[in-house]
Chains A and B, each alone.
Chain A
Amino acid sequence: MMSEKRRLHPAAILFTIVKMFKELIFTIGVGFFAFKEEGMAYFIIGGSALVIIALSFGILSWYRYTYRVEDEELRIEHGIIIRRKRYISKNRIQSIDLTQNVVHRLFKLVKVNIETAGSGMGSEASLKAVKLKTGEALREELKTAKKAATIESADAEQMEQDFPSETITKRRLFVAGTTSGSIGIIFIIFSVVFSDLDQFIPDSYYENTFNTIIGFSIIIITILVLALLLLLWLLGIAGTMIKYGNFTITKHPDELLITRGLLEKKQTTIPLRRIQAVGINESIIRQPFGYVTVYAEVAGGSIQKGEDFSTILFPIMKRTEVDDFLTKLLPEYVSERNKLKGLPAQAKTFYLVRSSMLLMLVAIAMLFLFPQFIWAPIIVLLLCMYIGLLRYKDAGFRIDGERLTLRSRVINRKTIILFHKRIQSFESKQYWLQKRASVATLKASIVSSFGAGTHYKIKDLSVDDAMEIADWYSFRDY
């Protein structure tokens, strides 16, 4: 069907050239300033030579880049001086993602990323620009490696509507934006500015100048700062809206398909069998409002960079909706998350000491060096102890047959649901204080997207509970 050699859409030339100039922009800038005085002519000559080289390089590399599907393989040949051939067997392909940026959308094009297992960073093959229809056809064809898939794909057309799917509402997206990470930073700056302003300004200065012009200008500065923070916050909202706009997750027979993005449309496929664990993240800002993020740990490639090494299954939803969502898409991951077994009472001390130890030292040092500022570390200390207490309260586990649910908190509360067969290794740790209190720390490791492994830890479980989990994990018969 697609055995003849094909080239990318000519727009690929544009992408190559733009990319080259992006990389060269610094050099060109330096050149411009270096030759500004006398050698402007040289700069122009050099510059136009560069443009010609880039243009011919772009066209040549486009001309040499061919792809075809032959013998159950995707065959790509490219390279100007050194000819490279890359053959990717259909069976090895883990996922095929179609991405569109603004330019792509303008020309009805699409970028095809093809990933294989264990490719780690970046995709195995990436067709920079092909017609949307060609891209979709290519995807269908490469996916048909599995037997009898021709029939399946025909059915898929009709069944499209029947696949369970979830879409994000505009309102939810807005909530997600308002409570995104940027608000945290702003909140910190905000609280520092407002709580500490009085303290840092000496009383006399404060009194004398408050009613004068300087006092007036402080107001202006404050307004400016507030405006800036507001702007940052709005940018945060806009960022989230653009990134997760039109977020849709659909369950196909053996994969999840995620489409998202307002400006750049991204499509991600997650093969179900590569999901290692499902997590529910409650960020400290969203938790009071009852909002959570659902994500999955996926082994192998297909993961965009900078997404916390895991794939977001749904950016924001109410805590109470999680079970319905999972029932619809990943029913085996529905777990009784609210009936976890917590930590023993003696673990509380460990958590409190661990979260405040460092600040205790800071506070003591402060007491000797700057006793007048002792309030600052004490406030932070109390905050840390409170978080330590939350950590203690939130940690817990639950075993249901082959399924293990673990919950812990660093700043955000994370509940993770994983299966026995996904755990690569299991470790229990104890130092002498823990031994005396008969508590132990345990760690379960799973495969993550970058092959380094993700480790889930619960500190200071009672030894009995830790051993119960160890026995559950152990492959030996007792």
Chain B
Amino acid sequence: MRQPPIHTIADDAIKTWKITAILYMLILWLSTAAGLVLSIIFDFPLWYVAISILLCGILHYVFVNLLPKVRWKRWRYEIFEQEIYIQHGILIISRTLVPMIRVQHVDTKQGPILKKYQLASVTISTAATTHEIPALLEEDASSLRDRISALARVDEDDV
């Protein structure tokens, strides 16, 4: 576990995360805009609005421009015959080992944003935890899913 896993996830993951972040930021921007309009109509002081615009700007930079890149850089995975090794995290880097014999089921998932870039995510569930590898190329995701489920097909002793 000393070495990080070798595989990175799809490059387009950054784009999909950016889009998701922009969608969330849009809510903030819109409410700020609404605040601006209301302030003008009702003659409220405008410095509240200035502060919230500034805040939105900072948040926008952090969540849209900065974090997706860092997150992508940190996201690693590696599949061994006996176990799955995943690394992720922005501030807290966590590395997880999931033994194949503990895998209960594997899913691939694709939302509208991932679909646009022909990506899919893989979710691995054990009896106690779930782990997700986000944004792999569609064919990688499905071959990974098939491979894990084949490798996981070992006799369980119980639970």
The digit string for A299-316, where 1 denotes a CB below 8 A from any CB of B, is 110000000000000000
Q: Which A residue sits closest to B99, measured CB to CB?
A: A475
| B159, A427: Cβ atoms closer than 8 Å | no
| A475, B100: Cβ atoms closer than 8 Å | yes
With A431-B92, A475-B83 as known contacts, state yes or no: A299 contacts B97, CB within 8 Å: no
| A430, B1: Cβ atoms closer than 8 Å | no
Cα–Cα distance between A467 and B4 once the two chains are bound (Å): 12
| A273, B158: Cβ atoms closer than 8 Å | yes
Q: 7 tightest A-B contacts by CB?
A: A453-B128, A475-B82, A470-B1, A424-B128, A429-B94, A424-B126, A447-B127
| A453, B129: Cβ atoms closer than 8 Å | yes
Question: Is B15 positioned at the interface, with any CB of A under 8 Å from its CB?
Answer: no
Task: For the complex formed, measure the closest distance between the CB of A462 and the CB atoms of chain B, giving whole angstroms.
Answer: 13
Question: Is A474 positioned at the interface, with any CB of B under 8 Å from its CB?
Answer: yes
Per a CB cutoff under 8 Å, which of B82, B101, B127, B157 touches A476?
B82
| B1, A428: Cβ atoms closer than 8 Å | yes
Cα–Cα distance between A435 and B100 once the two chains are bound (Å): 29
Question: Is B27 positioned at the interface, with any CB of A under 8 Å from its CB?
Answer: no
The digit string for A371-413, where 1 denotes a CB below 8 A from any CB of B, is 0000000000000000000000000000000000000000000
| B97, A427: Cβ atoms closer than 8 Å | yes
Cα–Cα distance between A455 and B131 once the two chains are bound (Å): 14
Interchain residue pairs with CB less than 8 A apart (30): A273-B158, A274-B158, A300-B159, A422-B159, A424-B127, A424-B129, A425-B98, A425-B102, A427-B97, A428-B1, A428-B95, A429-B89, A429-B93, A429-B94, A430-B93, A431-B92, A432-B91, A445-B126, A453-B128, A453-B129, A455-B128, A466-B1, A470-B1, A470-B97, A471-B1, A474-B1, A474-B82, A475-B82, A475-B100, A476-B82
Contacts of A453 in B (CB 8 A): 126-129
Contacts of A454 in B (CB 8 A): 128
Cα–Cα distance between A476 and B158 once the two chains are bound (Å): 21
With A426-B96, A474-B1, A476-B83 as known contacts, state yes or no: A421 contacts B129, CB within 8 Å: no
Question: Is A356 positioned at the interface, with any CB of B under 8 Å from its CB?
Answer: no
With A475-B83, A476-B80 as known contacts, state yes or no: A427 contacts B128, CB within 8 Å: no
Task: For the complex formed, measure the closest distance between the CB of B65 and the CB atoms of chain A, giving whole angstroms.
Answer: 21
Per a CB cutoff under 8 Å, which of A425, A428, A435 touches B128?
A425
| A424, B1: Cβ atoms closer than 8 Å | no
Question: Is A355 positioned at the interface, with any CB of B under 8 Å from its CB?
Answer: no
Contacts of B94 in A (CB 8 A): 427-430
| B92, A445: Cβ atoms closer than 8 Å | no
Task: For the complex formed, measure the closest distance between the CB of A277 and the CB atoms of chain B, giving whole angstroms.
Answer: 11
Task: For the complex formed, measure the closest distance between the CB of B9 and the CB atoms of chain A, giving whole angstroms.
Answer: 18
Of the listed residues B1, B94, B99, B129, the one surrounded by the most CB atoms of chain A closer than 10 A to its CB is: B1
Residues of B in contact with A (beta carbons under 8 Å apart): 1-2, 80, 82-83, 89, 91-102, 126-129, 131, 157-159
Contacts of B101 in A (CB 8 A): 475
Task: For the complex formed, measure the closest distance between the CB of B99 and the CB atoms of chain A, giving whole angstroms.
Answer: 5
Question: Is A239 positioned at the interface, with any CB of B under 8 Å from its CB?
Answer: no
The digit string for A320-344, where 1 denotes a CB below 8 A from any CB of B, is 0000000000000000000000000
Q: Which B residue sits closest to A474, measured CB to CB?
A: B97
Cα–Cα distance between A445 and B127 once the two chains are bound (Å): 9
Q: Which A residue sits closest to B131, measured CB to CB?
A: A425
With A425-B96, A425-B102, A475-B83 as known contacts, state yes or no: A299 contacts B1, CB within 8 Å: no
- Enumerate A39-74 residues with CB–CB distance to B below 8 Å: none
- Enumerate A272-303 residues with CB–CB distance to B below 8 Å: 273-274, 276, 299-300
Task: For the complex formed, measure the closest distance between the CB of A271 and the CB atoms of chain B, giving whole angstroms.
Answer: 9
Contacts of B89 in A (CB 8 A): 429
Contacts of B127 in A (CB 8 A): 299, 424, 447, 451, 453
| B97, A473: Cβ atoms closer than 8 Å | yes
With A431-B92, A475-B83, A476-B80 as known contacts, state yes or no: A445 contacts B128, CB within 8 Å: yes
Per a CB cutoff under 8 Å, which of B95, B96, B126, B157 touches A421?
B157
Cα–Cα distance between A476 and B99 once the two chains are bound (Å): 9
Q: Which B residue sits closest to A452, measured CB to CB?
A: B128
Contacts of A273 in B (CB 8 A): 158
- Enumerate A228-269 residues with CB–CB distance to B below 8 Å: none
Contacts of A423 in B (CB 8 A): 102
Contacts of B93 in A (CB 8 A): 429-431, 435
Task: For the complex formed, measure the closest distance between the CB of B151 and the CB atoms of chain A, giving whole angstroms.
Answer: 11
Cα–Cα distance between A448 and B93 once the two chains are bound (Å): 26
Task: For the complex formed, measure the closest distance between the CB of A95 and the CB atoms of chain B, giving whole angstroms.
Answer: 14
Cα–Cα distance between A299 and B159 once the two chains are bound (Å): 8
Contacts of B97 in A (CB 8 A): 425-427, 470, 473-475
Cα–Cα distance between A138 and B80 once the two chains are bound (Å): 48
| B82, A427: Cβ atoms closer than 8 Å | no
Q: Which A residue sits closest to B93, measured CB to CB?
A: A430
Q: Which B residue sits closest to A427, measured CB to CB?
A: B96
| B128, A467: Cβ atoms closer than 8 Å | no
Cα–Cα distance between A66 and B102 once the two chains are bound (Å): 40
The digit string for A426-463, where 1 denotes a CB below 8 A from any CB of B, is 11111110010000000001111001111100000000
Task: For the complex formed, measure the closest distance between the CB of B138 and the CB atoms of chain A, giving whole angstroms.
Answer: 26
Contacts of B100 in A (CB 8 A): 475
Contacts of A448 in B (CB 8 A): 128
- Other than the given A274-B158, A424-B102, 5 more pairs (CB < 8 A) read A424-B128, A425-B128, A426-B96, A453-B126, A475-B83
Contacts of A455 in B (CB 8 A): 128
Task: For the complex formed, measure the closest distance between the CB of B131 and the CB atoms of chain A, giving whole angstroms.
Answer: 7
Contacts of A471 in B (CB 8 A): 1
